[in-house]
Amino acid sequence: MSIAHHALRRLSLCSTILPALLLSGLAQAADAPVAPVAPVAAKTAWQETRHGTVVTDDYRWLQKKTDPAVIDYLNAENAYTAAVTATIQPLADKVFAEIKGRMQEVDLSVPVRIGNFFYYTRTEAGKQYAINCRRPVGVDGAYDAQAQEEILLDQNKLAEGQKFFSVRAFSVSPNEQLLAYTTDTTGFRQYELHIKDLKTGQLLSDSMPRVTSLAWAADNATLLLVQEDATTKRSDRLFRLALGGTPQEVYHEAVEQFSISVGRTQDKKFFVLRAGSTDTSEISLLPTDQPNGAFKSVLPREKGHRYSVEHRNGQLYILTNKHAKNFRIVSAPLSAPQHWKELVPHDKNAVIKSIDVFQNYLVVMEKSRALNRARIYDFASKHWKTVQFDDPVYLASAAGTPEFNATQFRMSYQSPVTPPTVIDVSMKDGKRTVLKQQEVVGGYDASRYTTQRLWVTARDGVQVPLWVVYKKGVKFDGSAPLLLYSYGSYGISTEAGFSIARLSLLDRGVIYVQAHIRGGTDMGEAWHEDGMLMKKKNTFNDFIDSADYLVREKWTSPNRLIIQGGSAGGLLMGAVVNMRPELFHAVHAAVPFVDVMNTMMDASLPLTTGEYLEWGNPNEKAAYDYMLSYSPYDNIAHKNYPAMLVTTGLNDSQVMYWEPAKYVAKLRAYKTDNNPLLLKTNMGAGHGGASGRYDAIAEGAFNTAWMLSQWGITE
C-alpha cells in the first residue's frame, strides 16, 4: 500500500524532472548548447510485506498510467533520448532508406485456394498496410490473374486516423458471402469483432469486444467466439452468436492457469474447443452443423497431458505427449477416443510440433537438433516421405494448406542467406515446386555471405547450438562487431530465418548470431523444461556461456559485443547484464519483462496466474526466492553497466510499459558508469511496436543505427 499522497507524488516528480528538462539542452542557452541531462525519476515510499520480508519499490508510482505525471516522465525520457541520439539520426535515415530500398513495395502474396476463391494480400507503394483480396478459381482450378479482383478489406482505409491498426482474425463463412474479422486500434491487443457482407460491402450490426478466436458454423449464420477478460486478458469465455441476435455464453473456463480458443478441424466438420495451460490441455468437439449443441470432451483433463486433435472419416488423430515427452501420434475412433492405435511413435531425438490431416495424407512437422522437417504419410500406400533441406541452418515451416482434399502441401523455406521461398510439395511423390521467392530489390548475391552452425559446451556439459551469419571477409581476430540475440522461454524456438533489414548490419561487417538456449524447444521438450521454473537460470547461463565462447574463439571481444532480446528475451537481457555486465559492450532490450516480482505478485495482470507454470508461483516461498534471485529489477546493483537502449510501447498488453520505465529509472540511480542509458517509448503502440510497415522499418532502423554507433560505425 502506498504511503505517499497523490499530490505529493506529482510535486516530487515535477521537482526532479523539470530541472532535468531545463538543463537537458532541449532548450538551448543563448550562448552555447548544453549537453542533455537525463530525467531523474522521483522516488516515493511504497512497501509491502512478502513472505515476512518488507519489500520497498521507489518507482511504484510509474505503474499508474492515468497519472499525468507518468506521461510527463515518459515524454521527458523520449525527449532525452531524441536529444542524445540526434547525431545518429542521419545514420538511422540512411538505414531506413537501405531497408526500404530492398523491399518490394508493390507486392502480392502467393494466392491460397479456399473453396471457390483464391485469397491473397497485396501491398501498394507508400501505403502502410496490406489489402486483403480474392479472385474466383479459374476454369481449370488454377489461379487466374485476369479474373475479377474483389477487395475484402483495405486495411489502409480502415487505419485512417489511427495511430495503430491491426487485423487478427480473418474468416470467410462457408457460403463465402460473409467475412468475420477483428481489429485493434491501440496496440493493447484487444480485438473487436466486425462482420462484413461481401455482396453489399456493408458491415452488419453484430459486434463484440475482446474477441481472441472465432469459428463459423455450417449454417453461415452462427459464430462461436472466445472473449478475453477485460482486466487479466485471459481468454476464458466461449459465446455463441446467431447473427442479428445477442451473444450467449456457452462455456466459462474457471481455472486461472487455463485459457481457451475455438477453431475447426481441417475437414470443417467439428468445432474444436481447446482449453490449455503450460503443461495440460483438454479438447472438446461439437459438429459444425449443430452449433446449438453441447461440446463433448475427447479426453478428460489430466495434469501433465497435452494433446491436440484432428478428424478424418470418423477417426481422430491425436497428437499426445502421454508416455512421450516429444509427442507421438495415435488414432482412435470418434466414438471411442480412448482406444488408441499408434501411428507415429515417440522419438527422443525429434519433437513433433504440429500435424495436418488431409483426406489422403498426414503431414507431421518435426524439429530435430534445432532444424525443422516435414514428414508426409500416404494413407493409401502407408508410405512416408521426408522433406528436409541440406543447408547447415534453415527455417522450414508449414505455410498454410486449408483445403482438406489438397494434394500439395505448402511450405515456407528460408535461411540466413536465402530469402523466404514459398514451395508446394506434392504429397504423392514429394516433388517440390517453387512458387515465389521474396525479391530483394537492387540485387542480392547470397554467395557474398556465409552461415554456419556452432556448438557451445555450457558449464554443465550440455551442448548448446548457435547459428551465425556474416559477410565473407570478416576477420576472426576478436575485432569484429558482433550482435548476439536470443529468447529462451515458453518453448519458443530460435529460428534461422532471413532478414532484409539485417543486411544493413552484415554489409557493415557485423557478425550476427542467435543462440538456441534452453527454455525453447529447439532440442526437444526437455530443452524447454530445463529452462523454466526452478531451472530458469540455465537460460541465462547458456547465453553467457555462448558469449564467452564467441569471445574465447575470437569471433569478437567484450568491447565489440552487443546483445539483443525482447519480451521474455528482455528478461534475459536484464538478467545477464546483472550477472556479467563486463562481458557486453551494449544492450538493446525491447519490451523487456524485467520487473518479475511485481508483475508475478499481481494476479490481475495479463502475465501472471497463467504464467505460474512457466516461471513459478511466487506465493510459494521456494519459487519466490528463486525468482527474486534473478529478477532484473530486483538485482540492480551499484556497479558499471553496458550502454543500454530500452524500447517499449505505452499500450503494451503483454509486458506493461512500466516494467522498462521502472527498470531504467532504478538503473539510472544505481549504475556507476557514464555509459548511455536510454528509454524510448512508442506512445501509440503496444508489444509489437509500430503497426504500419514503414513505421516499423523506421523503428528498426533507429535501433540498428544506435547499435552501429555503439560499435563506432557512423556510415
Active site residues: 567, 652, 687
Report how far residue 102's alpha carbon sits from residue 443's, in angstroms, rounded to the nearest whole number: 8
Residue 220 vs residues 179, 269, 292: alpha-carbon distances, Å:
10, 13, 13
Exposed (0-12), middle (13-18) or buried (19+): which is 535, by Cβ within 10 Å?
middle
Give me 510's grid cell: 557485423
Report how far residue 207's alpha carbon sits from residue 204's, in angstroms, rounded to the nearest whole number: 8
DSSP string spanning 48-78? EEETTEEEE-TTGGGG-TT-HHHHHHHHHHH
Report how far residue 647's alpha carbon sits from residue 707's, in angstroms, rounded to the nearest whole number: 13
Enter the DSSP assignment of 265. Answer: -
Given a contact cutoff of 8 angstroms between Cβ atoms, the answer to whether 182 and 203 are in contact is no
Residue 221 vs residues 175, 205, 241, 248, 500: alpha-carbon distances, Å:
10, 13, 8, 14, 43
Given a contact cutoff of 8 angstroms between Cβ atoms, the answer to whether 497 and 490 are in contact is no
- What are phi and psi for residue 483, nearest 5 degrees? -110, 120
Report how far residue 371's alpha carbon sits from residue 16's, in angstroms, rounded to the nearest whole number: 52
Given a contact cutoff of 8 angstroms between Cβ atoms, the answer to whether 546 and 488 are in contact is no
Report how far residue 423's alpha carbon sits from residue 415's, in angstroms, rounded to the nearest whole number: 14
How many DSSP H helices and E strands does the chain contain?
A: 13, 38
- What are phi and psi for residue 660, nearest 5 degrees? -65, -35
Report how far residue 32's alpha carbon sits from residue 704's, in angstroms, rounded to the nearest whole number: 30
Q: Which residues pair with 182 in a beta bridge?
A: 193
Q: What is the dihedral of CA 562, 566, 568, 572, to 10 degrees?
A: 10
Residue 504 CB partners (closer than 8 Å, separation 6+): 95, 98, 99, 701, 704
Planar angle of CA 267, 268, 269, nearest 5 degrees: 90
Of 301, 309, 223, 296, nearest to 265 (Cα)? Answer: 309
Residue 157 CB partners (closer than 8 Å, separation 6+): none
With helix as H, strand as E and coil as C, how does 290-323 read? CCCCCCEECCCCCCCCCEEEEEECCEEEEEECCC
Residue 424 CB partners (closer than 8 Å, separation 6+): 408, 409, 410, 411, 432, 433, 435
Give me 512's grid cell: 550476427
Length of the chain measured in residues: 715
Residue 615 CB partners (closer than 8 Å, separation 6+): 532, 533, 536, 596, 600, 623, 627
Query: Going along 217-360, which residue ranges are E strands?
Result: 222-228, 235-242, 248-252, 259-264, 270-276, 281-287, 296-297, 307-312, 315-320, 328-333, 341-344, 351-357
Give me 572's grid cell: 534475459
Rg value, the chain, Cα = 26
